[in-house]
Chains A and B, each alone.
Chain A
């Protein structure tokens, strides 16, 4: 098992390197003059020249790349043009908000999607299955930003049940907390009022973000379970008197979820990307919102830094997915 983990880690390194190369290539080659791009819209020629020297843009390309790698290693992403603070700091402050949102959305997607998929498979070709399949195909066709606005329209504006935007209501103060995850920090600090407020603010964004995920996970779980149900060992387990409930939810499900786990890995990455839009619409103070602001103000350093961070998260999640695969299916451990 350790050997497997080590092998997978080793495979991740080239991908990481590739990510760094691509982001480097992007900033150096795409804008006509990288120095101007990095300096921002209102820079004076003197500032641009200073940037050029500071970034070593007057030096050969490989030296530039080495310098770039060095900066990354020190987590030096430069200063944000619109916030005036180090990008690394901004990201560090905002990352927990995004992670909290995406993780809750992922948990929601799994908690709802998996059972729906199982039910659809078990009631194959009867009405629960048809409803599920229609909803699944529809679910991945919905534009996230549109769903966000529709949910806001219905639940916040018309019905007034849930808050319209933000992570906490006016006047509520987040506990200083160790994790940056409001839900956890509030519970640790015993502040249940703030906890509930944070939870209420989480509902609409998480529901929006998880929607497509529910559809995808339900779809893949259903396919996996259907395939497993054809297998001989299911017939045997029935003959050996395994109870129906345990048979489906434990013995069949474990065999069915390899494809689903792959999807969950991809999904998490997609959620982080989808958070860009959701955070922007709900004024959620995460890195997605940060990215949108950076786009509107043409703050290239931020855009690049966020691309890098999100790319790393993707790679890490893929690694984790492979590990979970090996955990679930012992046959994969030797291969």
Chain B
């Protein structure tokens, strides 16, 4: 309770939490909230490219679909991709980091060298290359993003495990006869969890951004999916006239990513003051 209250006193972090919860709500209840839920696919060519009005708060797109509704409906896809990617990246990266941190000698070195190499590569370019090599689709984009994001988890898991392994309580546990696996899973992992959760939260925002970029480049969702990046790509031919078509999906991305970033920062500040960057 004390933690919650402290968290809420931090205005930006509270705002971040509010945004993330709102997005979550939109994602889950999208079809119920959106005024024109059919506009996931239906087209009303008579109403194409209408500017914002009471009936269509964000205007309509090139197929006459309500932009407001499509943006709401797009939240689900964005979150789904982000969660799957981050989960996959963590599933790969965290165990590797735990092993690298806990052991010494060449297995640990090898893992960290490989991690360094992956970190030395630009994520977007690598993801693009991968996605293309695997036949462009939403699935290959997600796989590509996961494969390029795991090093971030490994690095944190490694640092935390290294730090904790030399802590007294681990020596005590070992002298009590606890097995290595048990020590890692039951004792080290819970302590490292907070740093990993912070990284995951920020990773969600970052993934939404990168996924939107891939969507923009045509490497992600395909029409008629209400993908925010894809919408912006579709809007380009109609500029400068239909400015709303490009503006609002971008704002949606901005606010969502902002929310996750603020939340991640806030979590970092309360969960582990050692990681605190002066705010």
Interfacial residues, chain A to chain B (CB-CB below 8 A): 14-15, 18-19, 21-22, 26-27, 30-31, 37, 133-134, 137-138, 140-147, 149-150, 152-153, 157-158, 219, 222-223, 226-227, 269-270, 272-274, 276-277, 280, 291-292, 295-296, 298, 300, 303-304, 306-307, 310-311, 314-315, 318
Contacts and interface: CB of A to CB of B under 8 A. Distances in A.
Interface string B128-139: 111011100000
Interface of B: 12, 113-114, 116-118, 120-126, 128-130, 132-134, 205, 209, 212-213, 216-219, 229, 232, 235-236, 239-240, 243, 246-247, 249-250, 253-254, 257-258, 261-262, 265, 277-279
Contacts of B262: 137
Given A30-B134, A274-B124, A314-B122, 8 more contacts: A22-B117, A30-B133, A37-B133, A140-B261, A273-B123, A273-B125, A298-B132, A307-B129
Contact of A133 (B205, B247, B258, B279): B279
Contacts of B253: 143, 146
A137 B205 contact: no
Contacts of B250: 143, 146-147, 149-150
A223 B278 contact: yes
Contact of B246 (A14, A18, A150): A150
21 contacts: A15-B116, A26-B129, A31-B133, A134-B12, A137-B12, A138-B254, A140-B261, A141-B205, A143-B229, A143-B250, A143-B253, A145-B212, A146-B249, A158-B240, A222-B278, A273-B123, A295-B219, A307-B129, A311-B122, A314-B122, A315-B120
Q: Which 9 A-B pairs have the closest CB atoms?
A: A18-B117, A146-B250, A273-B122, A157-B240, A141-B257, A141-B258, A226-B278, A30-B133, A273-B124
Contacts of A149: 232, 235-236, 239, 246, 250
Q: In terms of DSSP, what is the predominant structure of the interface of chain B? A: helix
Nearest to A311: B121
B150 to A, nearest CB: 14
A271 B10 CA distance: 32
A34 to B, nearest CB: 10
A295 B120 contact: no
Contacts of B212: 143, 145
B197 to A, nearest CB: 19
Nearest to B134: A30
A40 to B, nearest CB: 13
A218 to B, nearest CB: 13
Contact of B125 (A14, A142, A291): A291
Nearest to B127: A273
B58 to A, nearest CB: 15
B213 A143 contact: yes
A198 to B, nearest CB: 25
B213 A145 contact: yes
A15 B129 contact: no
Nearest to A140: B261
Given A149-B236, A270-B122, A142 B129 contact: no
B133 A150 contact: no
A222 B84 CA distance: 34
B236 A137 contact: no
B239 A157 contact: yes
B240 to A, nearest CB: 4
Contacts of B121: 19, 22, 307, 310-311, 314
Contact of B254 (A141, A277, A300, A318): A141
Contacts of B243: 153
B120 A141 contact: no
Contacts of A292: 217
Contacts of B116: 15, 18
A267 to B, nearest CB: 12
A143 B254 contact: yes
A16 B130 CA distance: 19
A52 B278 CA distance: 57
Contacts of A30: 130, 133-134
Given A295-B219, A311-B121, A153 B246 contact: yes
Contacts of B132: 295, 298, 300, 303
Contacts of A291: 125, 128
Nearest to A12: B120
Contact of A146 (B12, B125, B232): B232
A276 B209 CA distance: 15
